[in-house]
Amino acid sequence: MKLLAIETSCDETGAAVVADGTFVLSNVVASQIDLHRRYGGVMPEVASRQHVLAILPVITEALERAGSGWQGIDGIAVTRGPGLSGALLVGVNVAKGLAWSRGLPLLGVNHIEAHLYATWLAALGELAPEPHFPLLGLVVSGGHTELLLMPKHGTYKRLGRTVDDAAGEAFDKAARILGLTYPGGPAIQAAASSADGREVALPRAEMPGTLDFSFSGLKTALLRATQYTPTLDVPALARGFEESVTDILVRKTAVAADLYGAAEVVVAGGVAANDRLRSRMVQALGDRVRFPQLEYCTDNAAMIGAVGYQQFARGQIDGLDLDVNPNLDLAA
């Protein structure tokens, strides 16, 4: 069972061919980061136009790299939300056109769910890990920060979420305050790793009695710290910021894992690429915690193929009236 998968929810144009929801035969990502860097963030209109230019060459390359072109493709999976509406529209409309013209089933996928499923992707010939339920998922990306309980495939209960900025958004804003480049996550991580033990202590928003998160106060605290320090120690500030974000993410995830008796904990999304977050999660949760491989943490189409396969197996096929939903929710 081979799916062509398409992802255009934000600033990466992605196409992949995935076999049996697990084995990545090809995974092509055309990043728009260089285009958006001058704005310090993603410009939605620029993103949509770039997707239009990139999508067909990216799909062609994914099919070529997979080795057999359209031969043996059994369906088309595409991100239908959440994300930027204009960007999502490009992927969904191309997917519909291809599904219709080739007579293939269409599968509209939730991008957040796909970040979790990135954990179980493998290259052909590799041993594929399998989920263990009940599973606790932490999705930390540029647009989302959610703690989800997953009792089985395709079923989710939200335990907590950010009440303001997403964790990745906080990294991006902090980087801007510190004069570092977009995207902020990798830039902050690099600066922090040269801090040599120095760290400017910054606050944590505890949000007591909840599994919710808040990062906007931390951003303000960082701004204040830069205003009142005579000489800016960017590495020490970056380290303090990274520590504050990872500390609260790790502690709340560990509390939730015990509270709900999670057999496995999955940490996914762009911020799950962070070294410090990965090592602190392992310290707190041991071998119960799993992450996607680095290339599948940030946005990609392979993870969309993983969820599309689950939906196909359940007979959950979409019609050509499939629409985008910029605010698509995964759980109540």
Give the residues lining the site for Zn ion (CB under 5 A).
141, 299
| Greatest extent of the chain over all pairs of C-alpha atoms, in Å | 65
255 backbone dihedrals φ, ψ, rounded to 5°:
-60, -50
Residue 235 binds which entry of ligand KG4, Zn ion, none, with Cβ cut-offs from 5 to 8 Å by kind?
none
How long a stretch of residues is the chain? 332
CA atoms within 13 A on the CB side of 192: 26
Stretch that binds ligand KG4, among 63-71, 151-159, 180-188, 199-207 (CB under 6 A): 180-188
DSSP conformation letters of 125-138: TSPPP---SSEEEE
Residue 7 binds which entry of ligand KG4, Zn ion, none, with Cβ cut-offs from 5 to 8 Å by kind?
none
What is the footprint of ligand KG4 within residues 79-138 (CB under 6 A)? Answer: none
Distance CA 236, CA 238 (A): 5
What is the footprint of ligand KG4 within residues 7-26 (CB under 6 A)? Answer: 10
40: amino acid identity, one letter: G
DSSP conformation letters of 229-244: -SS--HHHHHHHHHHH
171 backbone dihedrals φ, ψ, rounded to 5°:
-60, -45
Pairing verdict, β 122-123 and 106-110: unpaired
**Contact track, ligand KG4, 136-165, x by CB under 6 A:** -----xxx----------------------
Among 131, 183, 240, 292, binds ligand KG4 (CB under 6 A): 183
> Binding of ligand KG4 at residue 235 (CB under 6 A)?
no
Cβ 10 vs Cβ 90: under 8 Å: no
Residue 59 or 87: the one with the smaller Cβ distance to Zn ion is 87
What is the footprint of ligand KG4 within residues 290-329 (CB under 6 A)? Answer: 298-299
Among 40, 44, 134, 186, binds ligand KG4 (CB under 6 A): 186
Residue 160 binds which entry of Zn ion, ligand KG4, none, with Cβ cut-offs from 5 to 8 Å by kind?
none
Residue 32 binds which entry of ligand KG4, Zn ion, none, with Cβ cut-offs from 5 to 8 Å by kind?
none
